[in-house]
Structure 1
Amino acid sequence: MGDYFGERYRHIFFASWQHFSLVAQCLILATVIAVFIAVLVYRNKSLSGIANSVSAIGLTIPSFALIGLLIVPFGFGVAPAVIVVTFFAALPILRNAIVGLNNIEPSIVESAKGIGMSRLKTLISVELPIAWPVILTGVRVSAQMVMGVAAVVSYALGPGLGGFIFQGLSRLGGANSLESVVTGVAGVVILALILDLILLGIGRLTTPRGIRV
């Protein structure tokens, strides 16, 4: 294993950076999309129910099947990888964003309106900051989940550590096949831990002191 890593460490580090970058960028995009949708629907019970149902049903879709379907219109490469990772990342964030916004005490919103805040200002200055810890929990759950999904998208020649896993599995029993799989899996786990620590730090920095747990 040491020899395998020593001969390929540059390639491994580059693939790790690609993997981390793909997940991080898709996570940011998914957070923006999910929070935007949550803001649009959380006050309407019917729309909130539909959004939650879509979130639940979406998580049952096999990522391997979805990437296979997207290869047809988008071909191989980065595009289907970004779509799949962003799609799965947005689902837990959407659910948590709706829950977080719905759990805000109505009296707090009324107080903000009472001092002359507009609907938009109340949302940005009061509601979203209060809901942020719940939203961030969804982001952390998404980060762990899509770190593994990002490995699957290598089937479509997307970037990341999944290439090591698929290469090893394709020649299982051959030279360095096990080392290749172990490298990919271990790398994904390590990156997931690193990203979670980063998100934990972001949460500490961005959560108002008065609502920190």
Structure 2
Amino acid sequence: MGFFEYLASRWDDLLELSIEHAQVVLVSLFIATVIGVSLGVLTYRRPAAAQVVLAVFSAILTIPSFALFGIVLSLPFMGLGYTPTVVALSAYAVLSILRNTITGLQSVDPAVTESAKGMGLSEWQVLFKIEMPLAWPVIIAGIRVSALLILGIAAIAAYVNGPGLGGDIFSGLSRIGGANSLNLVLGGVLGIVILALVFEVLFAVLGRLTTSRGLG
């Protein structure tokens, strides 16, 4: 069967798997964003603490995907499927978000923050009304990088019976040379590539909609 015939015959299945893939990535990205931005906000004024948390998540990113999924599976009450997938992907996604949050907040001109404080704004008001809006373009760039990173890694989640397109890829690789084995792999890869392009467009639109006009 040719590849295009294969796509036509499995269109519904591939669409469903692509939606599952996108959903698990979005959930993981949301969790990683909450963790990364929160840690960034807590440490950007404390260089030593910032270096520690960056080192921790840098170390996590160096762990091979299969090894990290294996570590996650060894945790109590984890089991197979959706939960270990989200935990592993979230762990991988934090670093870029955390680093960009710290970098973005530290790059805000101190004169701007001092002027805001001189106008009577509290530390938290300065953070949320001045520093975060100015740092947001850098932060969202980190979120975008993390999204693209875990879109690919999410395919490895098939190792732990996770959702998405990885199942087709692993299935095809396990019986390479057999009927439709290459089509399975190519279909899964094509789905991930298309999702990456969709995410790129969505982040470009989100960046425009959420960045202050004076910074656009």
TM-score, reference length from structure 1: 0.96
* 59-68 or 180-189, which deviates more: 59-68
Aligned twin of 1:104: 108
Q: Encode CA deviations 1:64-99: one digit per residue, 9 max, x unaligned.
A: 211122223312110100001111111111011111
Task: Note the C-alpha offset of 1:45.
Answer: 1.1
What is the aligned-residue identity percentage? 46
AA matched with 2:81: G
AA matched with 1:7: S
AA matched with 1:202: L
Task: Note the C-alpha offset of 1:2.
Answer: 2.1
Task: Note the C-alpha offset of 1:7.
Answer: 2.1
Q: Does the 8 Å CA contact 1:143/1:196 hold for their aligned counterparts?
A: no
Pair 1:159-2:163 in alignment: yes
What SS class does the counterpart of residue 209 from structure 1 fall into?
coil
Q: Encode CA deviations 1:10-46: one digit per residue, 9 max, x unaligned.
A: 1110000000111112112211110000011110110
Aligned twin of 1:39: 41
* 61-70 or 169-178, which deviates more: 61-70
> Which residues in structure 2 correspond to 1:1-213 (within 5 Å)?
1-73=3-75, 74-212=78-216
What SS class does the counterpart of residue 211 from structure 1 fall into?
coil
What SS class does the counterpart of residue 90 from structure 1 fall into?
helix
Q: Does the 8 Å CA contact 1:51/1:95 hold for their aligned counterparts?
A: no
Q: Does the 8 Å CA contact 1:20/1:191 hold for their aligned counterparts?
A: yes
* 51-60 or 202-211, which deviates more: 51-60
Which aligned runs of 4 or more in structure 1 are off by greater than 3 angstroms?
none
What SS class does the counterpart of residue 208 from structure 1 fall into?
coil
AA matched with 2:186: V
Distance 2:6 2:157 in 1: 24
Q: Encode CA deviations 1:91-114: one digit per residue, 9 max, x unaligned.
A: 111011111111111111111111
AA matched with 1:196: E
Gaps of 5+ in 2: none
Distance 1:105 1:53 in 2: 26
Q: Encode CA deviations 1:113-143: one digit per residue, 9 max, x unaligned.
A: 1111111111111111100011111111111
Distance 1:58 1:71 in 2: 15
TM-score, reference length from structure 2: 0.95
Cα RMSD over matched residues? 1.0
